[in-house]
Structure 1
Amino acid sequence: MKGMGMMPARSRKPMSEINVVPYIDVMLVLLIIFMVTAPMLTQGVKVDLPETTSQPIQSDKNVETIVVSVDSNGAYFMDIGDESSDPMSLADIRDRIAKILSQRTDREVLVRGDEHVEYGTVVRLMAQLQAAGASNVGLITEAPSIDE
């Protein structure tokens, strides 16, 4: 009664293929999420920069830049790296810049001034930056558009 009721044993071969369809689905979902959220990550103050031809500033990529913005209403904002601030007073900006520059003097300070803001507003800001210890203050502009 050797073979009665017994099935011959089959040897299973290991499967050598990987089903990548679930991985592709996950990748496409992540791609869509990043495409939707990437434009929302750009922060900052809406400033219409004056257009002029100028040479770009040669900066060290290892140095974190401090950008102080003045919007068209004359409000001051400070951006350090990816961190953006709420509107600040000139005294607050001077104190914060002085504190930052006392720790690291190699940081660059740049000013983004709206082209419609009064000249005196930007000059007062630059005077406060120099009082805080910023020896070199750069101005950010945009290149003129070609259609002019």
Structure 2
Amino acid sequence: MSRQRQRRRPMSEINVVPYIDVMLVLLVIFMVTAPLLTQGVKVELPQGDAEPLPAQSDDPVVVTINQAGEFFIDIGADKGNPVDAETLVARVRAVLKYKPKTPIMVRGDAGVEYGRVVEAMVLVQAGGASSVGLITESPER
């Protein structure tokens, strides 16, 4: 009888080794797949000394203008495809309807005409944004 008592584990002892193994496997999967999920548009950002914006709870919506003057927005199913002005306004309006505090940022290629960047800012404001930020790249030293 005493041998059976020694072999039994109390219910309070849980073997966590399998859980640690599962967590490590999930961590490796996320580390491998995360870089593959990022999509973007290649732009050469203008350089300028600017203070970084304070961290906010909501991720910003980024509107990008490439060198050809095409608009891209980083929400929706076709993030890597150009969108027209009406689609841009509609998507910004939809985001701001559900999350009114979402920051809206504009990235313009250094080679794009300034008027095209202003046009993007006007479209974003037509979508309901009260303020629009510009994304720049720190100058090379």
TM-score class, shorter-chain normalisation, is 0.7 to 0.9
Question: Sequence identity of aligned pairs in percent?
Answer: 44
Report the equivalent of 1:25. none
Q: Which runs of 5+ in 1 are unaligned?
A: 1-13, 15-28
Q: 1:100 to 1:31 in 2, by over 3 A?
A: closer
- Higher normalized helix content (fraction of residues): 2
Q: How many residues align?
A: 136
Query: How far does the alpha carbon of each residue in 1:9-48 deviate from its partner, in whole angstroms, 9 at most, with x for none?
Result: xxxxx9xxxxxxxxxxxxxx99987776554333111111
Larger CA Rg, structure 1 vs 2: 1
Q: Which residue of 2 aligns with 1:120?
A: 115
Residue 131 (structure 2) pairs with residue 136 (structure 1)? yes
Aligned residue runs from structure 1 range 1-148, under 5 A: 37-61=33-57, 63-80=58-75, 85=79, 86-145=81-140, 148=141
Going from structure 1 to structure 2, the CA distance change for 1:84 and 1:107 (only over 3 Å counts) comes to farther
Q: Residues of 2 paired with 1:123 and 1:101: CA distance? A: 20
Q: Distance in 1 between matches of 2:86 and 2:49?
A: 32
When the two structures are superposed, what TM-score results if normalisation uses the length of structure 1? 0.69
Instruction: Decide whether the 8 Å contact of 1:43 with 1:84 is kept in 2.
Output: no
| AA in 2 matched with 1:119 | Y
Any idea what the Cα deviations from partners look like across 1:39-91, whole Å, max 9, x if unmatched?
Answer: 43331111111111101111313x131111111111111113x9662210112
**RMSD after superposition:** 3.2
Provide the C-alpha distance between the structure 2 equivalents of 1:32 and 1:58, rounded to a whole number of angstroms: 31
Q: Give the structure with the higher percent strand.
A: 1
Separation (CA, whole Å) in 2 of partners of 1:56 and 1:126: 20
